[in-house]
Structure 1
Amino acid sequence: MFSHKLMESELAVAVNTEAHSQLVEIFRNDTSDLPDGERKLEPAHCVLTTQYLQVAERILNLTVYEDDVWIVTFPKCGTTWTQEMVWLIDHDLDYDTASKIDLTRRSVFMEIGWFFKAFPHDTIAAVENLPRPRHIKSHLPQALLPKQLWTVKPRIVYCARNPKDVAVSFMHHYRHLHGYNGPQETFLEALLAEQVLYCPQIKHVLDFWNIRHLDNILFIHYEDMKMQMTDVLKEVSNFFKKSYTDDQLKKLAEHLSFAVMKKNPSANNTLLLEELGKLTGKKIEFEFMRRGEAGCHKDELTPEYLERLRVYIDQQLQGTNFKYREVSSI
């Protein structure tokens, strides 16, 4: 079902860190069980780690339940934000429980236990043992997710974000959480060359855009959450067949505002940072929710790199009807 190739290019070696094992490209050549979409899927591949190879089949064959809720994104695309929003909407705005139980326990990151060396938890077992309805987070591409997603058909919420901002956010994430200490330019080159964890990024998005017509798929945009949060809350509520008043939605929007989320220890990944700090023996001086802005790339990426990234995005989107949100167009 799977094959893999060690990533030994100069860029792949340069951006890999001691936090995880060697990077590999993992391939799933048979995608015949995946749902039909607007275009034919190519053989699937993804940049992961040699550690992940130990559990690829286990994840693919994970038991899925109809009342599951899956949050799927490429890294740094508003995942935590989406998790908190979806959990509260699905749980009748139970702020009390949300404040007492950390988001990492309410909405489990399925594969993280197989990226960082000596991670203290079997996060796949944590998913398996979650009380139902389970909320599950993953950055895996469509083809590497559990096969039963496409037959059991639980709700899946996918959030996309403009790659220009992802580049900046992922760069800081890699430096502070993964321990990358090389030049910024090297990481950005590696991202453009798809030599970084979870790449390729745009195919990740397109594979879910391709099946957005399915009743159990909700495709949303990070930029819409920034600029039109009330509309997004109504859309997500409808997806979960929930009805909330304007006042309830206003309170939820305030709870989900960046300023509030950033200070909320049960939803800002403070616990995850503490656990990762124990692995390295050092306190991680990093705010998981760093800036939370749309358009932040303008401050940190050079015009030359942005132009190369624009060309890359245009090439990858050629022949599709998908468009990333631009802040200026909202």
Structure 2
Amino acid sequence: MAASSFTSLPNEGDQESQGYQTTYKRCNDIIPTLPRDTGWWLSNLCQYQGFWLSSSHAILGLMLVQDHFMSKPTDIILATSPKCGTTWLRALIFATINRTSYDFATHPLLTNNPQALVPFLEGHIRVNDSTSFLESLPSPRFLSTHIPYSLFPDSMKTSGPKFVYVCRNPKDVLVSKWKFAEKMRPKEMPPLSLQDAFELFCNGVSHYGPFWDHVLSYWKASLETPETVLFLIYEDMKREPLVQVKRLAEFLGKPFSPEEEREGVVQEIVRLCSFKNLSTLEVNKSIISTEYFVQNPYFFRKGEVGDWENHLTPEMVARLDQITKEKLEGILCDKWKVRIDLSREENDGEQSTDQLPTPRSE
């Protein structure tokens, strides 16, 4: 099969272009050899380096990041598994860091989708065949990614960028991703039923899945290097946004001053970036994202906690809870209301020894 069947090679030219040529060729050579399974809004996904990725987009973007992206100590990288609050956190990070640069009445978030202000790392490199645009951004660079932490090269992890990771209840992730797929799926493809989406998700076959492996990659990193990886929980962000935004600012080295807190700056950032505010802005109602070539409204559905209760059967809930319990032993079960079968925990009175450690206090 011809290489051009998968990705278009960049034009030949200088040494940098030749380097990209090499990556494109390697991508085209590898893709036909990879395991495949059903896609959610694409015909299929491929398993590469332990995760399920789109062959024409995510795999190439990942390879280009691994081969060519040079991170900086001042970089701020928002990392999420898809449908875990990416758009919301993009807005919060941008508004928090730039709070002294813009007036809230004329803020860039009022006229720009958060994606335009916090570029999608692997998407920009893939679309532009180059890192030159990202290299031209002023410091600190705000970037977003879906790449699991374990797939970043060591050179990037050790260069000092700060990662902000947000995870979400997998039951809500499943429903949100399924609803997103309904909008994204081409008309010529048959609808994806919730049952089929559920089976794919449980088997780890979803964009950048398995979901649980994605979460664990950043959880473990947050334990090993808490100064460079902040692990946030979507449900905590929704329940106590002021507390979590202050925690975010502290981690990014831009803590709120007592004066800012008295003047209500934290509250104003939370209000500006709220689902209610962002989803009603004209820019987020009709414009198509240049990163994903998707209408901006598709990124705003409900922004709620617990919508899974309106869609999943008790059998689905039980199976997802069991997978979460087994995969994420010792973490997040209380946050996500995972129903744990205590009879399976007792094991003749012996405590499990494979429980993950809890993060050290800040």
1:219 aligns with 2:235: no
For 1:148, the equivalent position in structure 2 comes to 155
Identity value in percent: 23
Q: How many residues in Structure 1 have an aligned counterpart in Structure 2?
A: 294
- Kept in 2, the 8 Å contact 1:295–1:327? The answer is no
SS at match of 1:108: coil
Mapped to 2, the partners of 1:140 and 1:302 lie a distance apart of 31
1:307 aligns with 2:329: no
For 1:73, the equivalent position in structure 2 comes to 80
1:1-330 residue pairs with structure 2 within 5 A? 6-8=34-36, 12-13=37-38, 15=40, 17-18=42-43, 22-27=44-49, 45-51=50-56, 52-61=58-67, 62-92=69-99, 94=102, 95=104, 96-112=107-123, 121-122=128-129, 125-179=132-186, 181-213=191-223, 214=225, 215-242=227-254, 243=256, 244-246=260-262, 247-266=264-283, 270-272=287-289, 276=293, 287-318=298-329, 320-323=330-333, 325-326=335-336
Mapped to 1, the partners of 2:125 and 2:182 lie a distance apart of 19
- Kept in 2, the 8 Å contact 1:68–1:154? The answer is yes
Give the counterpart letter for 2:322 in structure 1. Answer: V
For 1:35, the equivalent position in structure 2 comes to none
Mapped to 2, the partners of 1:99 and 1:172 lie a distance apart of 26
CA distance change for structure 1 residues 14 and 72 in 2, over 3 Å: closer, same or farther? closer
SS at match of 1:166: helix
C-alpha deviations, 1:259-318, integer Å up to 9, x for none?
Answer: 1121134568944189625xxxxxx59542101100110001111111111111111123
Mapped to 1, the partners of 2:153 and 2:135 lie a distance apart of 12
Q: Offset at 1:74?
A: 0.6
SS at match of 2:38: helix
- Normalized against structure 2, the TM-score is what? 0.72
Comparing 255-264 with 67-76, greater Cα deviation is found at: 255-264
CA distance change for structure 1 residues 178 and 126 in 2, over 3 Å: closer, same or farther? farther
- Kept in 1, the 8 Å contact 2:288–2:296? The answer is no
- Normalized against structure 1, the TM-score is what? 0.79
- Kept in 2, the 8 Å contact 1:110–1:123? The answer is no
Highest relative contact order (Cα 8 Å, sep 6+), 1 or 2?
Answer: 1
Comparing 247-256 with 139-148, greater Cα deviation is found at: 139-148
CA distance change for structure 1 residues 313 and 23 in 2, over 3 Å: closer, same or farther? same
Q: Offset at 1:138?
A: 0.5
Mapped to 2, the partners of 1:148 and 1:269 lie a distance apart of 40
Comparing 88-97 with 103-112, greater Cα deviation is found at: 88-97
Mapped to 2, the partners of 1:219 and 1:169 lie a distance apart of 21
CA distance change for structure 1 residues 274 and 23 in 2, over 3 Å: closer, same or farther? closer
SS at match of 1:210: helix
CA distance change for structure 1 residues 175 and 23 in 2, over 3 Å: closer, same or farther? same
Give the counterpart letter for 1:228 in structure 2. Answer: E
C-alpha deviations, 1:7-36, integer Å up to 9, x for none?
Answer: 34xxx2364525xxx421111xxxxxxxxx
Q: Offset at 1:126?
A: 3.9
User: Which protein is bigger by CA-based radius of gyration?
Assistant: 2
Task: Supply the RMSD in Å over aligned alpha carbons.
Answer: 3.0
Give the counterpart letter for 1:193 in structure 2. Answer: N
Give the counterpart letter for 2:35 in structure 1. Answer: M
Q: Offset at 1:238?
A: 1.2
Give the counterpart letter for 2:315 in structure 1. Answer: E
Structure 2: 5+ residue stretches without partners? 1-25, 339-362
Q: Offset at 1:131?
A: 2.8
- Kept in 2, the 8 Å contact 1:177–1:276? The answer is no
C-alpha deviations, 1:44-103, integer Å up to 9, x for none?
Answer: x11112224444432113100111110001111111111100111111253423334442
For 2:353, the equivalent position in structure 1 comes to none
